[in-house]
Amino acid sequence: MGLFDKVKGLVKGAQNAVQGAPQAPAPQAAPQNYPQGSMEVPVTADEPEDDGGSSDEQFDVAGFDVNNDEQAFFRAVLHMESEGQFGGTDESRAEIQERFGIRDRSHWQTVKESNYAVLARKYGSYEEVTQQEMNWRQGEMSNHMNAQVADMAKGGGFEPVEGISLEQWAAINAAIVGGQNHEDLLKGAGIDDARWQRASAEWNARMARDTTFAITTVYGNAFQAASKGKFGDFAREAAAARAANRDVAMQPPVTWEQYYEYMYEQAYAAKQGTDPVAALKSVGLTIVDWTDLSTFMGYVFQRDAGRHWKEYEEIHKRVEAKYAAKYPGVKADVDIQF
């Protein structure tokens, strides 16, 4: 269903970064190929740095001080290990190598593993280090999106259309999806249908043209801010937590087993030609409820998957087996494994 694709990418990126040297084979059943060396190895922040000897030294943090500035190290990992929108370039990698005294790619692998070992001692486990790095990466993505929204606002991309702001358009759409009468809503807002249609066409066009997703982001936040669904407060809490790059302050309203079951009900319904909305209704949810619940649970997953991926995987396998038995001969696509 693709619900966790983005979150999984974030998890996988951080987990891959925490892994050991490339030649070490990864386990088949669980992605836990962490840096070589164990927590028992005496690792301290003031360990003497490499004196320029061979490239197979066992410990060398180079110019990093992860006990006091782990973000500089996380940023280096992101640039040294990946490319693309949030990754590195030849120029940024060269700057990092010069700044922190990294000689070559082989030396970088030693430096990377050594600094992860220091962080593992600091946080108590490599899983927790993965989570801290995931949280940092998400914060960087949020900062980037906030900058995109600010730029869009400066460029006039949020100017009202036919007197209808993006937030008003989103709120009315949320009410329509929630089951309120379309005509009554427009009448109450003093908007005739022709004006509404023109405004909707332009907002949809702006959204389609916006490759930064700034309009989509503001629309989504406004849509959920107006939600009257049973999980509306949870969606709003997730939005607030994401904006502050913090954990949520509310306990999940359903168990992870229940949540996965909702996902499977929809997936199997779609595979058999049944309306997924009807599948939601069969478990007492509306499409608005599902959207709000997914927003909350997806964010909780993101803030916790690095340290508790084993538990998530076990729950998913249990639910997967349950639905395979319930619908024999039908294969549904619920891709939420790591």
Look at residue 271 in the predicted model and tell me its pLDDT: 85
Residue position matching structure tokens 């069969």: 282
166 and 222 Cβ atoms separated by less than 8 Å: yes
Distances, alpha carbon 272 to alpha carbons 31, 94, 278, 328, in Å: 33, 53, 12, 12
| pLDDT for 46 beyond 50 | no
Percent of the chain at pLDDT above 90?
67
pLDDT, averaged across the chain: 84
Q: Are 257 and 317 in contact (CB under 8 A)?
A: no
pLDDT at 219: 96
CA separation, residue 58 to residues 32, 97, 113, 235 (Å): 20, 19, 9, 46
pLDDT at 336: 53
User: What is the spatial distance between Cα 204 and Cα 167, in angstroms, rounded to a whole number?
Assistant: 13
pLDDT of residue 276: 81
275: confidence class by pLDDT, cuts 50, 70, 90? confident
3-state secondary structure the chain: CCCCHHHHHHHHHHHHHHCCCCCCCCCCCCCCCCCCCCCCCCCCCCCCCCCCCCCCCCCCCCCCCCCCCHHHHHHHHHHHHCCCCCCCCHHHHHHHHHHHCCCCHHHHHHHHHHHHHHHHHHHCCHHHHHHHHHHHHHHHHHHHHHHHHHHHHHCCCCCCECCECHHHHHHHHHHHHCCCCHHHHHHHHCCCHHHHHHHHHHHHHHHHHCCCCHHHHHHHHHHHHCCCCCCHHHHHHHHHHHHHCCCCCCCCCCCHHHHHHHHHHHHHHHHCCCCHHHHHHHCCCCHHHHHHHHHHHHHHHHHHHHHHHHHHHHHHHHHHHHHHHHCCCCCCCCCCCC
**How much is the average pLDDT of 73-93?**
92
Cα–Cα distance measured from residue 57 to residue 19, given in angstroms and rounded to the nearest whole number: 18
pLDDT at 60 > cutoff 90: yes
Indicate the angle between helix axes 193-209 and 166-177, nearest 10 degrees: 110
Neighbours of 110 (CB within 10 A): 23
Cβ atoms of residues 102 and 96 within 8 Å: yes
How far is the C-alpha of 95 from the C-alpha of 88, rounded, in Å? 10
d(CA 160, CA 181): 23
Q: Is the pLDDT of residue 96 over 70?
A: yes
| Confidence check: pLDDT of 287 > 60 | yes
Q: Give tens-digit pLDDT for 123-172.
A: 999 999 999 999 999 999 999 999 999 999 999 999 999 999 999 999 99
pLDDT at 4: 46
Q: In angstroms, rounded to a whole number, what is the distance separating the alpha carbons of residues 182 and 174?
A: 11
Residue 18 CB-half CA count within 13 A: 27
Residue 50 has pLDDT above 80, yes or no: no
What percent of the chain shows pLDDT beyond 70? 81
Which band of pLDDT confidence, cut at 50, 70 and 90, is reported for residue 24? very low
pLDDT value for 84: 81
* Mean pLDDT computed over 60-66: 97
Q: Are 179 and 117 in contact (CB under 8 A)?
A: no
pTM tops 0.85: no
**How much is the pLDDT for 86?**
82
C-alpha to C-alpha distance for 61 and 47, rounded to whole angstroms: 8
Tokens describing residue 165 = 């702001």
Classify burial at 56, counting beta carbons within 10 Å of its beta carbon; exposed 0-12, middle 13-18, buried 19 or more.
exposed
Per residue in 171-196, pLDDT (tens digit) is 999 999 888 999 999 999 999 999 99
Cβ partners under 8 Å of residue 147, min gap 6 = none
